[in-house]
Amino acid sequence: MTVRSAWAAALIVIVAGAIASAQQELTFRARVDGVRIDVLATARGKPVAGLEASDFELRDNGVVQQITVTPRTDLPISVIVALDVSGSIKGERLDALRSAARALVDLLKQGDEVAFITFSEFVVQRVPLTRDTSRVIGAFAGFDAHGETALVDATLAAMLTGEIDASRSLVVLLSDGVDTASYQAPDAVLDAARAANVVVYGIWSGREDRPTFLNDVTEIAGGRLIDVSRTGDVVPAFAEILREFRQRYVITYTPEGAPAAGWHRVDVRARQRTVDVQFRRGYFAAR
């Protein structure tokens, strides 16, 4: 067995165990503490403040639920930054991404946590979740761009890192969007996104067509994909993502009247027709 194939086998075992653990923890929280759904409410593209429980309707497997709504603009958050350092992103593009990542760290508030992951053909956790932002800033200089792109594997690793923490977790993926090296199947990672209690945003700097996987995973996980391929300026995208995430509402409820086992489809709507909502589309419950 080659070193690369041995690494691949180890990754599959580790990731499979991590998915199982994450799903067990997720279903435990759903059963005991209630389900938590982060919701972004916007009107004409701008976040809407001041909404209450009576302004939303939530259905769990088609059944209307009693909900509690809390704006969480001041609570600490956990941000997992996953940065593409493959050979397709090098030179000025890599320097721009490094600068943007530093800018994101500067935008964090006291009490926030941040983790830093890089990926080429391998996924490397440079810094685990920490409040010590100097560790993250120091890690930005410790690598070069080379190799292929394991975007799908990196997405799974970032989501699992967010699942470790009990706070509100935000994953930010920066990539040109073209996967050339992942071991994990995209559909399997999309299934993991449906189960994970994290919000995923993507920043795309590619030159090809809009990437299907990044678009799908951000939609499933309640975020969105921001295209910076024309401007190349990632800093405003970071600022926009953090601002949106802090202005999300947290809806909590204990499921009633819906089947207990398996996949629960969640639908949220605002009672005001002019308000649009983004949210995670469901969760898994224990059988």
Q: Return the closest-CA partner of residue 239 out of 143, 45, 60, 100.
A: 100
pTM: 0.83
- Indicate the Cα dihedral angle 79, 145, 175, 230, nearest 10°: 120
User: Of all helices (H) and strands (E), which one includes residue 249?
Assistant: strand 249-253
* Cα(58)–Cα(267) distance, integer angstroms: 6
- Indicate the Cα dihedral angle 129, 135, 140, 143, nearest 10°: -90
Please give the pLDDT value at position 97: 74
Q: What are the Cα distances from residue 11, in Å, to 109, 124, 233?
A: 34, 12, 34
Strand 113-119 versus strand 123-130 pairing type = antiparallel
Please give the pLDDT value at position 165: 65
What's phi and psi for 130, nearest 5 deg?
Answer: -155, 155
Domain extents for the chain?
34-70+251-285, 77-246
pLDDT, tens only, 73-99: 667 899 999 999 998 777 777 777 777
Amino acid at 117: I
Q: Facing residues of 6 across strands?
A: none
Q: What is 77-246's CATH topology?
A: Rossmann fold (3.40.50)
Helix, strand, coil share (%) of the chain residues, nearest 5: 35, 30, 35
Q: Return the closest-CA partner of residue 81 out of 12, 137, 41, 21.
A: 137
Question: Any idea what the Cα angle at residue 262 is, between residues 257 and 265, rounded to 5°?
Answer: 65
* Cα(159)–Cα(201) distance, integer angstroms: 11
Q: Show the low-confidence residues of the chain (pLDDT under 50).
A: 1-32
* Cα(4)–Cα(19) distance, integer angstroms: 22
Please give the pLDDT value at position 3: 35
Edge-to-edge strand order for the sheet containing 113-119?
A: 123-130, 113-119, 77-84, 168-175, 198-204, 225-227
Contact (Cβ atoms closer than 8 angstroms) between residue 205 and residue 234? yes
DSSP letters, 63-124, are EE---EEEE-TTS-EEEEEEEE-STTS-THHHHHHHHHHHHHHHH--TT-EEEEEEESSSEE
The sign of the CA dihedral 231, 86, 16, 190 is: positive
Q: What are the Cα distances from residue 198, in Å, to 166, 210, 219, 230?
A: 10, 23, 12, 28
